Amino acid sequence: MSDALAGFEKPEDPDLLVGIETSDDAAVYRLSDDIAMINTVDFITPPVDDPYWFGQISAANSISDVYSMGGRPVTALNVVMFPSKHLDMGVLREILKGGHDKVIEAGACLVGGHSVDDNEPKYGLCVNGVVHPDRVITNAGAKPGDALVLTKPLGSGVLFNAVRAGKFEFKVLERETLPIIASLNGTAMQLALKYELHACTDVTGFGILGHSLEMALGCSKHIHIEYQALPFYSGAYEMYKRGETTGSNVANRALVARHTLVLSRTLTKEQEELLYDPQTSGGLLIALPADQAGELINEMHSAGLGVAVRIGEVTDEAVGLTVR
């Protein structure tokens, strides 16, 4: 979309605190000295066949953009595309129930929405949140000396495709992986805001390298990723070894290739593919002073976010990425 918007006149409004300039997760507009509103919209095709899981995952994915800006979700509107002539309306009800339950869990209000008849189901939310204008967290504020903390594993993209291809059991995915994917990022952000948080984004469709690159470009610094520290969902590596992939890996690789990427360690083809694997409702990627990272991770573990881990650092080098 950024290419399609190239050349459009940018808003000259001092109250627009976050627009499209740094490919951030949501827009932020100041309403008063104490309140700014966060606006975001996202919808996806079904990552799994189960309609209730689909609704939960999509809603968590949409709400995450408000959390990644440091905000609190307040209202949500359903965005629905559904083939009413081909699927039973009970399927739609289960999708909407999953979304409703996740919005309620987030402490927000589901207040309506819009639907159209389409050939393929799609579902998501337009989410509105609030944040103090002086406490907005963007993806562009990381500083040299910051540590990077990731709060969820990687590899959901290939697992979703592997289930569709019959190479991975849905029961295993449902038991081990879907509860993490569908979990909200609210607790992680609530804990992170107690620290000197410099930047944040959620890891979604561009994969860990794509979203790390956005953070590096936003702050004009260099990001180092420790491959051995990266958490992956069980089975993801094995699925790449069995020849499974996603429709986004090639595009994500091309996106990163436009900029400086240094692989300072030898990786197998499958290990590399995991770096470009697109996430749905992924974790937060948080930049904060290195001496605060350990305490934050310990707090996250105590709060049940056992996967939270330090995965890298920000340095004052030329803009780019290094995987070591």
Sign of CA dihedral 263, 3, 135, 207: negative
> Is 24 part of any known ligand binding site?
yes
Residue 155, both tokens: 């590899």
Q: What is the CA radius of gyration of the chain?
A: 19
Separation CA 94–CA 62 (nearest Å) = 18
Residue 94, both tokens: 């289960």
Residue 109, both tokens: 């209000």
> Is 115 part of any known ligand binding site?
yes
From residue 301, give the alpha-carbon distance in Å to each of 156, 240, 296, 297, 313: 21, 29, 9, 6, 20
> Is 202 part of any known ligand binding site?
yes
> Is 71 part of any known ligand binding site?
no
> Is 222 part of any known ligand binding site?
no
- Pairing, β 199-202 against β 284-289: antiparallel
Phi, psi angle pair for 100, to nearest 5°: -60, -50
For 259, the 3-state DSSP assignment is: coil
> Is 101 part of any known ligand binding site?
no
Burial class (CB in 10 A: 0-12, 13-18, 19+), 319: middle
> Is 49 part of any known ligand binding site?
no
> Is 268 part of any known ligand binding site?
no
> Is 23 part of any known ligand binding site?
yes
> Is 114 part of any known ligand binding site?
yes
How many Cβ atoms from other residues are within 10 Å of residue 147's Cβ? Answer: 21
Task: Extract the annotated binding site.
Answer: 22-25, 42, 65, 113-115, 202
Residues of the binding site for ATP: 22-24, 42, 65, 113-115
Binding residues for Mg(2+): 25, 65, 202
